[in-house]
Amino acid sequence: MAYQTFNMDHQWLPFTPNRNFAKDPRVFVAADGMMFTTHEGKQVIDGISSLWCVAAGHNRKPINEAIKKQLDTLDYATAFQASNDQAFVAADMIAAMAPGDLNKVLFCNSGSEAADTSLKVALAYHRARGEGHRNVFIGRERGYHGVGFGGMSVGGIPANRKAYGTALLPRVDHMRFIHDPVNHAYIHGEEPVWTEDLLAELENRILPLHDPSNIAAIIIEPISGSAGWYLPPQGYVKRLREICDKHGILLIFDEVITGFGRLGCNFGADFYGVVPDMLNFAKCVTNGVIPLGGVICSDRIYDTMMGAHSNAPEHAIEFFHGYTYSGHPVACAAAIATLELFKQDKLFERAGQMGKVLGDAMHSALMGLPNVIGIRTLGLAGAVELSPIVGTPGKRAFDIFMTCYHHGVLVRPAGENLVVCPPYIVEKEHIDRIVNVLADAIGQHA
Ligand SMILES: Cc1ncc(COP(=O)(O)O)c(C=O)c1O
């Protein structure tokens, strides 16, 4: 494809250094399978599934066809006081994939909306049970739950929070981060086993400080994705479930990244053998092609919310929440086709298999390179962590990201990490190329 020019003056780019971008733009104009075509006509490997979304690879015909068909059948229908057939079918498929009693899907359009929706459900649920005083939320340091005020408040990435001061939710605390850079800097496909009890702080300090009876919910990403693929110690997630059960606290898994196959199974919940009370999803559910997110709630939550209205007139709305585009028929048609494609092509199994290939490749090619201080791989994702340049945090990772891009490989800078999380259709040759380009770039920026 020939070089394309267009005016780039009017888009303010999200989570992007705009001044840098203007000097060296990275613009995609086409994509197929694992590859992008840029506005300069170059080919770039999508080493990050386009922000953890494009699990089945780009330009998948069954998804495209489903969208086109849906547009010609029912383009849109109001989501309030009515619904559409595609939303019910998609909810049915998603509930069938979810573990335990997670059976009721509240649709929204993004991971951020899913985070805020789940926090609101938690408050409304406790109020419905007569425990409206439970209004403290607990997140985790370096957690990411999107950019809404709720998600940002329970999130723990300092740069995302620092400008917003008292606008953040007031009754929020954070558990400590799950990384041990001394004993567990290198993790290769298995859960780290810690001698220290990472949740003792929650039990002995955070819960008593707020009093457990005031706590509405604890929200975590099973694996800390946006921060740079940091993995909890063995037993952590199970013990968190036990602590929540002991104190009547809801447990929310934000599976916007770990959901739909990244760990070789349906959800992180399955990987860790723990059923949360709510599970947030987005991204891969439509292969990233059309925005769709949601919260899968337990029967218990739904039944409680309905039960609280048993004496209310039938026209009374039980939960005053929703989005104009909740369960959009075109997005749901895309989800149905995506979930069918995942199953038909056994893509989650493939993610598990290729995850081993990626883990082997990253550990053998990157360990020992200059400035590399950690490598963590699990499922079809991995991060290499670099020592920061004193005084300019994140610069080394950013420079390496840019060099990789100029050599035809898209990786993701996250703090001092470079993250690789390719589509599940990735082949060994792609992995070798991604990792070799990354290794060369790390060497170049030593
Ligand atoms: C765990 C998690 N939650 C929420 C979000 C926010 O999703 P969105 O950007 O769709 O709002 C993300 C995005 O990466 C995420 O990783």
Residue whose C-alpha is closest to residue 199's, from 249, 255, 149: 249
Q: Are 384 and 438 in contact (CB under 8 A)?
A: yes
Domain-located, residue 9: no
226 lines ligand 1 (CB under 6 A): yes
Q: Are 274 and 238 in contact (CB under 8 A)?
A: yes
* pLDDT computed for residue 279 by the predictor: 99
Q: Are 224 and 142 in contact (CB under 8 A)?
A: yes
Domain-located, residue 11: no
Ligand 1, residue 291: give the atom nearest the CA.
Answer: 10
pLDDT per residue, tens digit, the chain (446 aa), is 557 788 999 999 999 999 999 999 999 999 999 999 999 999 999 999 999 999 999 999 999 999 999 999 999 999 999 999 999 999 999 999 999 999 999 999 999 999 999 999 999 999 999 999 999 999 999 999 999 999 999 999 999 999 999 999 999 999 999 999 999 999 999 999 999 999 999 999 999 999 999 999 999 999 999 999 999 999 999 999 999 999 999 999 999 999 999 999 999 999 999 999 999 999 999 999 999 999 999 999 999 999 999 999 999 999 999 999 999 999 999 999 999 999 999 999 999 999 999 999 999 999 999 999 999 999 999 999 999 999 999 999 999 999 999 999 999 999 999 999 999 999 999 999 999 999 999 999 99
Structural domain count, the chain = 2
Co-location of 192 and 156 in the same domain:
yes
Domain-located, residue 1: no
Q: Are 354 and 380 in contact (CB under 8 A)?
A: yes
3-state secondary structure of 269: helix
Co-location of 120 and 49 in the same domain:
no
Residue whose C-alpha is closest to residue 249's, from 278, 209, 270: 278
Ligand 1, residue 280: give the atom nearest the CA.
Answer: 3
60 lines ligand 1 (CB under 6 A): no
Residue whose C-alpha is closest to residue 417's, from 441, 435, 405, 401: 401
Q: How far is the CA of 155 from the centre of ligand 1 (A)?
A: 11
Domain-located, residue 339: yes
Domain-located, residue 3: no
Q: Which two tokens stand for residue 407?
A: 């050599």
Q: Are 90 and 328 in contact (CB under 8 A)?
A: no
Q: Give the domain range for residue 208.
A: 64-344
Residue 327 CB neighbour total at 10 angstroms:
25
Co-location of 334 and 351 in the same domain:
no
Q: How far is the CA of 228 from the centre of ligand 1 (A)?
A: 13
Co-location of 161 and 193 in the same domain:
yes
* pLDDT computed for residue 5 by the predictor: 83
Q: What is the CATH number of the domain that holds 117?
A: 3.40.640.10
Domain-located, residue 149: yes
Pair type for strands 136-140 and 43-46: unpaired
Residue whose C-alpha is closest to residue 291's, from 114, 73, 31: 114
Domain-located, residue 13: no
Q: What is the dihedral of CA 82, 85, 88, 90, to 10 degrees?
A: -130
Co-location of 151 and 161 in the same domain:
yes
Q: What is the CATH number of the domain that holds 381?
A: 3.90.1150.10
Q: How far is the CA of 418 from the centre of ligand 1 (A)?
A: 18
257 lines ligand 1 (CB under 6 A): yes
Looking at this protein, which amino acid is placed at residue 257? Answer: I
145 lines ligand 1 (CB under 6 A): yes
Co-location of 249 and 359 in the same domain:
no
Q: How far is the CA of 106 from the centre of ligand 1 (A)?
A: 16
Q: Which of 303, 328, 344 is the last residue of a domain?
A: 344
Ligand 1, residue 257: give the atom nearest the CA.
Answer: 16
110 lines ligand 1 (CB under 6 A): yes
Co-location of 278 and 422 in the same domain:
no
Co-location of 328 and 381 in the same domain:
no
254 lines ligand 1 (CB under 6 A): yes
Domain-located, residue 7: no
Q: How far is the CA of 331 from the centre of ligand 1 (A)?
A: 17
Ligand 1, residue 146: give the atom nearest the CA.
Answer: 6
146 lines ligand 1 (CB under 6 A): yes
Q: How far is the CA of 307 from the centre of ligand 1 (A)?
A: 32
* pLDDT computed for residue 6 by the predictor: 86
Co-location of 329 and 388 in the same domain:
no
* pLDDT computed for residue 2 by the predictor: 58
User: From residue 438, how far is each of 123, 133, 225, 319, 367 by CA, in Å?
Assistant: 45, 50, 19, 48, 12
Q: Which of 283, 313, 344 is the last residue of a domain?
A: 344
Distance of alpha carbon 334 from alpha carbon 407, whole angstroms? 33
Co-location of 214 and 291 in the same domain:
yes
Co-location of 97 and 48 in the same domain:
no
435 lines ligand 1 (CB under 6 A): no
* pLDDT computed for residue 408 by the predictor: 98
Q: How far is the CA of 136 from the centre of ligand 1 (A)?
A: 22
Q: How far is the CA of 234 from the centre of ligand 1 (A)?
A: 24
Co-location of 209 and 176 in the same domain:
yes
282 lines ligand 1 (CB under 6 A): yes
Q: Which of 304, 323, 344 is the last residue of a domain?
A: 344
401 lines ligand 1 (CB under 6 A): no
Q: How far is the CA of 260 from the centre of ligand 1 (A)?
A: 14
